[in-house]
């Protein structure tokens, strides 16, 4: 608790400021006015979403899960669905895309009520799953192995090199498409190795050379991501660094709160020039740029924006872009006003991608691509008929509604709460090894994506978790922790003699 006072103060101050703005009737601009009653319900949802984070930070470290997964999921739900209507802001997505605006006075009440009810059902499902025990009094099976400290360092460094090699191969298009699943797994192993190495560094278990190698690996990963305009990947790498420091010592210092705030501000500043950067690199040049040219041009754009508008205005512009991309409530409002009167229900069509998710592409080379973002964009007229490249994000809650309507959201959110608890039981237990926590951290980070549909978020999970377990077992076997040869078994006809006193001891 004492080590997390700074984090608790920061979280409480942020939530308090947002709620104060929500109850202030003079804060929302006149043209984006949402009724005060709707803003109050959104504020209630926002506060409820931040309660798990406050509870997690105030709990004793021995009683917490190693990765703060559910509290981060809860906070992101509040930011993506409750923040904009709570502050009275509407039509953020529609103004950015030039589409017809919804009426904020009448069309936000039902979606906000549905989001609040859905979140309460998710919490109920999460709690109910924690009360269920399987046969034998245990929950889901999980790895019980322990990895020695030296083997952790060696395995993490090997995975760092392998992941960087995969990133470079993918950057120069020498990675075959049939092995895209393996490339995704290697990318997660790269992030997992960063988590493990940062955690070991914070515990003082890395040498100076290993620390330098870790810093070079992190910088190279961010550099390669910026060179391909993958800002989402940069955020995942920064999240891996944060989770590594958290696993190393489950406490947040005041200077780390400042560092996180500064990193988020810099990321927002870069995000503000990303559209201009993509128009130049991918629009005019077709992506044919050198390894140094892409990041160099991005830095020049950031420098120009900061010089012309100032750092504060440049960061504010970036936050506006992020806000326009994360206002999922606007998508739900539009879906509820047009479905099923104008656009009929999909009746589970979006879940067809789950049919072949357990078959890797190397086994099924002609496996269809997931084009759900394209189909969703054309179905709701967000994309022109001639646009066959752009993909519109389909958030999970919106997917529930456009498939099955109001019952789909309520039942789907309850089932989602159960699923999230089962995933945490399998990958985020209090007694699991540090190396296993580091390897599953990137998988749990992908589940935090609020902009993606169910098949993209959870589809690969049945393959990824066993793969991580097998990789850990292989590392233990290669390191000699698991014997390479089993002792010979006695023949079947051998007579087992009872051990004296065994029954008494039992």
Write out the chain's pLDDT in tens, 506 residues: 444 665 666 666 666 666 665 656 555 455 457 888 888 888 889 889 988 888 888 888 778 899 999 999 998 998 889 888 887 777 776 544 545 667 788 888 899 999 999 999 999 999 998 887 654 444 444 556 678 888 888 999 999 998 888 888 877 766 665 566 677 788 888 999 999 999 999 988 999 999 999 999 999 888 888 776 677 788 889 899 989 988 887 666 667 677 777 777 777 777 777 777 777 766 666 555 666 666 777 778 788 878 887 777 777 777 777 766 677 888 898 889 888 888 899 998 888 878 777 776 666 666 667 778 888 888 888 887 887 777 888 899 999 999 999 999 999 999 999 999 999 988 888 888 888 899 999 999 999 988 888 988 888 888 888 888 888 888 888 777 776 666 666 665 555 555 555 555 44
- Give a yes or no: residue 493 inside a domain: no
Neighbouring CB atoms inside 10 A of 224's CB total 21
- Give a yes or no: residue 501 inside a domain: no
Q: What is the pLDDT of residue 125?
A: 94
Looking at the structure of the chain, the number of domains it has is: 1
- Give a yes or no: residue 420 inside a domain: yes
Q: What is the pLDDT of residue 138?
A: 44
Are 289 and 281 contacting, i.e. CB atoms less than 8 angstroms apart? yes
- Give a yes or no: residue 98 inside a domain: yes
- Give a yes or no: residue 24 inside a domain: yes
Q: Which of 127, 109, 117 is nearest to 413 (CA)?
A: 117
**CA–CA gap between residue 99 and residue 92 (Å, rounded):** 10
- Give a yes or no: residue 500 inside a domain: no
Residue 76: give the domain boundaries.
2-478
Phi, psi (degrees; rounded to nearest 5) at 356: -110, 20
Are 200 and 152 contacting, i.e. CB atoms less than 8 angstroms apart? yes
């Amino acid at each position: 608790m004492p080590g997390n006072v700074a984090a608790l103060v920061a979280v409480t101050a942020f939530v308090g400021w947002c709620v104060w703005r929500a109850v202030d009737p003079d804060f929302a601009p006149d043209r984006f006015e949402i009724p005060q009653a709707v803003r109050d319900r959104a504020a209630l949802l926002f506060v409820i979403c931040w309660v798990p984070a406050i509870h997690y930070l105030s709990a004793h470290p021995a009683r917490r899960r190693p990765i703060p997964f559910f509290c981060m999921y809860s906070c992101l739900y509040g930011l993506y669905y409750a923040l904009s209507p709570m502050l009275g802001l509407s039509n953020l997505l529609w103004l950015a895309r030039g589409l017809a605006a919804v009426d904020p006075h009448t069309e936000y009440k039902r979606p906000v009520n549905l989001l609040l009810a859905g979140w309460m059902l998710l919490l109920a499902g999460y709690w109910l799953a924690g009360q269920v025990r399987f046969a034998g009094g245990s929950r889901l099976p999980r790895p019980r192995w322990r990895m020695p400290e030296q083997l952790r360092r060696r395995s993490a460094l090997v995975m760092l090199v392998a992941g960087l090699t995969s990133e470079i191969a993918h950057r120069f298009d020498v990675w075959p498409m049939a092995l895209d699943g393996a490339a995704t797994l290697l990318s997660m192993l790269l992030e997992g190795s960063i988590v493990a190495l940062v955690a070991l560094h914070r515990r003082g278990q890395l040498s100076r050379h290993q620390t330098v190698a870790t810093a070079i690996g992190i910088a190279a990963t961010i550099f390669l991501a910026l060179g391909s305009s993958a800002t989402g990947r940069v955020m995942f790498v920064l999240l891996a660094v944060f989770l590594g420091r958290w696993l190393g010592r489950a406490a947040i210092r005041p200077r780390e709160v400042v560092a996180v705030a500064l990193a988020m501000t810099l990321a927002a500043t870069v995000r503000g020039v990303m559209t201009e950067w993509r128009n130049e690199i991918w629009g005019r040049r077709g992506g044919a740029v050198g390894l140094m040219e892409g990041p160099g041009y991005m830095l020049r754009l950031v420098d120009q924006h900061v010089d012309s508008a100032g750092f504060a205005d440049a960061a504010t512009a970036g936050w506006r872009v992020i806000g326009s991309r994360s206002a999922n409530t606007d998508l739900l409002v539009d879906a509820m006003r047009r479905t099923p009167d104008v656009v009929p229900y999909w009746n589970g069509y979006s879940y067809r991608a789950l049919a072949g998710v357990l078959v890797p592409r190397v086994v099924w080379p002609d496996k269809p691509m997931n084009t759900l973002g394209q189909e969703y964009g054309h179905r709701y007229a967000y994309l022109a008929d001639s646009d066959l490249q752009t993909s519109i994000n389909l958030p999970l809650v919106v997917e529930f509604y456009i498939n099955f309507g109001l019952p789909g959201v309520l039942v789907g959110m309850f089932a989602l709460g159960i699923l999230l608890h089962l995933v945490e039981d399998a990958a985020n237990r209090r007694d699991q090894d540090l190396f296993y926590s580091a390897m599953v951290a990137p998988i749990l980070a992908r589940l935090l994506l609020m902009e993606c549909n169910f098949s993209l978020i959870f589809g690969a999970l049945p393959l990824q978790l066993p793969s991580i377990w097998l990789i850990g077992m292989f590392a233990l076997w290669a390191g000699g922790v698991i014997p390479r040869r089993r002792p010979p078994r006695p023949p079947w006809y051998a007579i087992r003699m009872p051990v004296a006193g065994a029954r008494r001891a039992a």
